[in-house]
Amino acid sequence: MSQAVKKQALGRGLSALLKDPENNIQSVNDKNADKVVGNIIELEIDAIEINPFQPRSNFNEESLQELATSIRELGVIQPITVRKLDFNKYQLISGERRLRASKINKMTTIPAYIRIANDQESLEMALVENIQRHDLDPIEIALSYQRLIDEIQLTQEQMSDRVGKKRSTIANYLRLLKLDPIIQTGIRDGFISMGHGRAIINIDDQDVQTDIYQKIVSQNLSVRETEALVKSYQESLKPAAKKVTKTVAFSIAEDEKKAIANYFGAKVDVKMAGNGKGKISIPFHSEEDFHRIIKLIKG
């Protein structure tokens, strides 16, 4: 059984547990509460109410439709988070766009993390313990870090202390969540590595991201080859250097050069630069000759 199927089965099992009146979990001290904290649960959308204190009220319809299309193709990659209010009654904490997009798709359930009373410490422990597992893919780790930021209000520095990872390592995982959902799914399914993802994230345009992702998969590109491809794309965006055409501001006629030479009684060397500047070199053959030229200059 694949990891995704196992998680789905687990979510449905926990969902049934929560719908059992004899398991009305309200606190982390209640029976079976440990099975809920930190786990993904398939929750009925009709049982979730919008948080009335949600500060965001405007949602771009086109953006929601795009998210709905992504969810139809890939599923809900990042579960929403809800607070348990009563028996089979929940209030949304985060993920309103995902919930609205799922409703557009007429879905009846959605994967969710459930917060219950006084579960702050338990949730933090569950998330930190989850990150330490060896079978997590990079996106799952990134999502766990993001939950610690969103729900426990930990800074990256505090997370570094909790999970024993460098702050730069945590930042690299979190950046993966900026990738196009298709690419995130590709990382989760093992089509590309975290190294590939880190290279692609340096491109802001998600359409270009997916183009490069498809090349990686179809051509079996290595991380180094991907980095070179990204660098080549970035170089192509730089404006082409303007060619500086050297032009001579003016020209010196041969008779003018001869006139200078005749005046000083020496073979004078006249050189011109492209910017109109130049140099006149007057040779002399002895001290007497030098003083002769100086008298001519002084007039």
Return d(Cα 246, Cα 230) in angstroms, integer.
35
Residues listed for the chain: 299
- For 92, the enclosing helix (H) or strand (E) is strand 89-94
Amino acid in the structure at residue 7: K
Burial category of 113 from C-beta neighbours within 10 Å (exposed 0-12, middle 13-18, buried 19 and up): buried
φ and ψ of 275, to 5 deg: -90, 10
Yes or no: say if 214 and 205 are a contact pair by the CB < 8 Å rule.
no
Collect all residues with Cβ–Cβ distance below 8 Å to 287 and sequence separation of at least 6: none
φ and ψ of 247, to 5 deg: -125, 140
Angle at 196 between CA 192 and CA 200, to 5 degrees: 120
Known catalytic residue at 121: no
Q: Exactly one of 44, 96, 225, 227 is catalytic; which is it?
A: 96
Q: CA 90 → CA 49, 82, 114, 226, distances in Å?
A: 6, 6, 8, 44
Q: CA 39 → CA 43, 57, 118, 245, distances in Å?
A: 12, 29, 16, 67
Amino acid in the structure at residue 68: A
Q: Which residues are catalytic?
A: 96
